[in-house]
Amino acid sequence: MRGRKFVLFDFDGVIADSYEVGFATARKLCVRITDEEYQRVFEGNAYEEHHIFMARPHGPECHHDLDWFSIFTPAFEERAKLFPGMREVVEKLSHEYVLVIVSSTITSPIQGFLEKYRIGRYFSEVMGADVHTGKREKIQMIFEKYKTSAAECIFITDTLGDMREAKAAGVGAIGVSWGFHPRETLQKGEPLRVVESPKEIVPAVDSYFAQLGSERNIAMT
- Domain limits, the chain: 6-17+81-220, 19-78
- Of 23-32, 80-89, 190-199, 212-221, the least confident: 212-221
Give the whole-angstrom CA distance, residue 104 versus residue 127.
9
The domain defined by 6-17+81-220 folds into: Rossmann fold (3.40.50)
- Residue 163 is predicted with a pLDDT of 98
Model confidence pLDDT, tens digit, residues 118-157: 999 999 999 999 999 999 999 999 999 999 999 999 999 9
Give the whole-angstrom CA distance, residue 204 versus residue 193.
8
- Of 13-17, 129-133, 208-212, the least confident: 208-212
- Residue 214 is predicted with a pLDDT of 63
Q: What is the DSSP letter of 131?
A: T
- Residue 218 is predicted with a pLDDT of 57
Q: Are strands 172-176 and 98-102 parallel, antiparallel or unpaired?
A: unpaired
Q: What is the mean pLDDT of the chain?
A: 93
CB 6 within 8 A of CB 97: yes
Partners of 99 in the β-ladder: 7
Q: How confident is the model at residue 215 (pLDDT cuts 50, 70, 90)?
A: low
Is the pLDDT reported for residue 50 higher than 80? yes
Share of the chain above pLDDT 90, in %: 83
pTM, two decimal places:
0.93
CB 93 within 8 A of CB 73: no
Phi/psi at 67 (5° precision): -80, 120
Largest CA distance in the chain: 68
Query: b/e for 10-46, b at 16 or more Cβ within 10 A?
Result: bbbbbbbbbbebbeebbbebbeebeeeebbbbbbbbb
Number of C-beta neighbours around residue 80 at 10 A: 24
Pick the more confident residue, 57 or 36. 36
